[in-house]
Homo-oligomer: A and B are copies of this chain.
Amino acid sequence: MRLFYDSTITKDLTEFTLNEEESGHACKVLRLKAGDKIAIVNGKGDYFTTEITEPHARKCQVKILSCTSEEPSEKNIHIAIAPTKNMDRIEWFVEKATELGITEITLLLCKNNERKVVKTDRLEKILVAAMKQSKRLYLPVLNVLTPVNNFIQSHPNGLIAHCYENEKGTISNLFNSNKCAILIGPEGDFTLEEVEFANKNGYRAIDLGKNRLRTETAGLYACMQALVGS
């Protein structure tokens, strides 16, 4: 059954009008007809089996036949990462992290960012496509570019990956899935001031192995380790 996404579909409904984009995809591109069954997810854990009642290229009507729900993962993985100069690289991070089961992504504005502006529309689309592709029922939260010090203050006691000499632990030892953000710096690393500010706010340094990883690889590696670890 074809899968569609609309964040506004809720459990109390019996009928629903699909948003314009997905209506277009269902009725114009795929030419689905009245009586065809489609699945709709809301990215909040609910999966609806529905039947098209009125196909329409902008407002396709469906009847809701059944709904199943899934509890959110007990692992809350929030990675705050500086966007790469080359957008392709951060885009694949977003895609892969979504497939794997990340909960939340924040884009960080650091002193050494080569990229100081990011449009999130395209990243949002990648999130939705990767959620559908991997059959996840939860859409990760994507937060716009946030100055790193603001982020640290609002999310204290996290983990930080940087390349300075320092006592470092591993994600498997230090990660706890409850409010423990993981910070991944820009291509030129965090500044010493940023690292010290994190330390002051309860951050601990993590070691991502002996190879020098690109920003997006470090982000994905951290995500995978957090998923596998405790």
Q: Which residues of A contact B (CB under 8 A)?
A: 92, 96, 99-101, 133-136, 172, 209, 211-214, 217, 220-221, 224-225, 227-229
Q: A133-B212, A135-B211 are in contact. Are A172 and B228 (CB under 8 A)?
A: yes
Determine whether the beta carbon of A101 is less than 8 Å from that of B172. Answer: no
Docked pose: A100 CA to B101 CA in angstroms: 20
Minimum Cβ distance to chain B for residue A227 (Å): 7
Q: A220-B220, A224-B224, A225-B224 are in contact. Are A211 and B100 (CB under 8 A)?
A: yes
Docked pose: A186 CA to B219 CA in angstroms: 26
Apart from A100-B217, A100-B221, A209-B227, what are 15 other A-B pairs with CB-CB below 8 Å? A96-B217, A99-B212, A99-B213, A100-B211, A101-B209, A133-B212, A134-B211, A134-B213, A134-B214, A136-B211, A172-B228, A221-B224, A224-B228, A225-B228, A228-B228
Most buried by B among A135, A217, A229: A217
Question: Please, which residue of chain B has its CB at the minimum distance from the CB of A70?
Answer: B210
Question: Please, which residue of chain B has its CB at the minimum distance from the CB of A225?
Answer: B228
Question: Please, which residue of chain B has its CB at the minimum distance from the CB of A96?
Answer: B217
